[in-house]
Amino acid sequence: MLARTEKLKDEVWRAYDVFDFQGAYHAILNFIVVDLSSLYIDVARDRLYCDGAKSRERRSAQTTLFNVLDTLIRMLAPLIPFTAEEVYAYIPGARVESVHLLTMHPANPAWRDAELESRWERLLQIRDEALKLLEAMRKAGTIGASLEAAISIAAGEGIDVAANRELLKELFIVSHVGILNEAEAAEVRREAAGREEFAVNGNFARVSANPAITMLGRRAPGVKCARCWTYFDDGGDPELDARCRTVVRALSA
C-alpha cells in the first residue's frame, strides 16, 4: 500500500508541476477508489476490528493508514481547501496552524520495492479470480457474505500458495484457504472441460489460464465466531475462534 502511495505521489507531483489540476484529481480519485477503498481498507478492516490492540498486524495497518492520510491531505489541499482544513484538524499528532502551511511529501525511496510490488501483483491476480468465484457462489445462493466460504487453490509458478495461505485468506475475506494437490487440480480441470467456471455437488470451481490458477469453493464448515464472523470447527470454544479467544483472554488477563 505504501508502494502504491509512493507511485501516486510521483503522478500528482508531475501533474501539479504543469498545473494539470484535472490530472492530479483523477490520479487521486483512482487511488482512493481502487487501491484504498476496494482493496486496502476492505482487507485491513478485519485487522483493525479484531486483532489485538497492540498486535503488529493492527499497528502496521494503523501506521499505513496514517501515512496514506497524511500524504493525501497535502495533495488534496489545493483542490478542496476547506474540507482539507477540516480533515487536517482531526489528524493525530503534532500539527501546524493550517494544512495550507504544509508542503507535499518528497519522494520516499524506502517505500518503493520492485520485487515486493511484483509479488503483490501476482497475489492480487489470484484475488481477482477468487472474487469471481465468490460472486458465482453468491449468485447461486450458496453463500451470502464471503466469510461463509472456504476456497482451495492450486497456482502456477510465481506464488507459493502454502507460504501465503493466511495472507490469501485475508485478501479473499474467507474463513479458510486450502491447497489443491496436483491430482485434485487436474481433476477439476478435467471436469471443467474448457469451461472457466462450473458447479458440481455443491462445490464451485474456477479455472484460469492466464494467470494459471485452479480454484474450488464450498461453504465453510463449522460455526460462526460471534466476534469476527469467521467460521471455525476446531472444537476449542462454542463461540470464539482461535484468534478471538487469544485476544479476549489477553483483555481479561
pTM to 2 decimal places: 0.90
Closest-CA residue to 161 (of 123, 192, 202, 193)? 123
Q: Which CATH architecture has domain 114-218?
A: 2-Layer Sandwich (3.30)
Q: Which CATH architecture has domain 2-111?
A: Orthogonal Bundle (1.10)
Q: Is the CB of residue 6 less than 8 Å from the CB of residue 111?
A: yes
| Tens-binned pLDDT, residue by residue, of the chain (253 aa) | 999 999 999 999 999 999 999 999 999 999 999 999 999 999 999 999 999 999 999 999 999 999 999 999 999 999 999 999 999 999 998 889 999 999 999 999 999 988 999 889 999 999 999 999 999 999 999 999 999 999 999 987 767 888 899 999 999 999 999 999 999 999 999 999 889 999 987 899 999 888 889 999 999 999 999 999 999 998 888 899 999 999 999 887 6
The domain spans of the chain are 2-111, 114-218, 222-253
Q: Which long-range contacts (CB under 8 A, 24 or more apart) does 49-56 make?
A: 49/228, 50/227, 50/228, 50/243, 50/244, 50/247, 51/243, 51/247, 52/246, 52/247, 52/250
Say how far apart CA 39 and CA 188 lie, in whole Å.
29
Say how far apart CA 179 and CA 188 lie, in whole Å.
13
Coil, helix or strand at residue 224 = strand
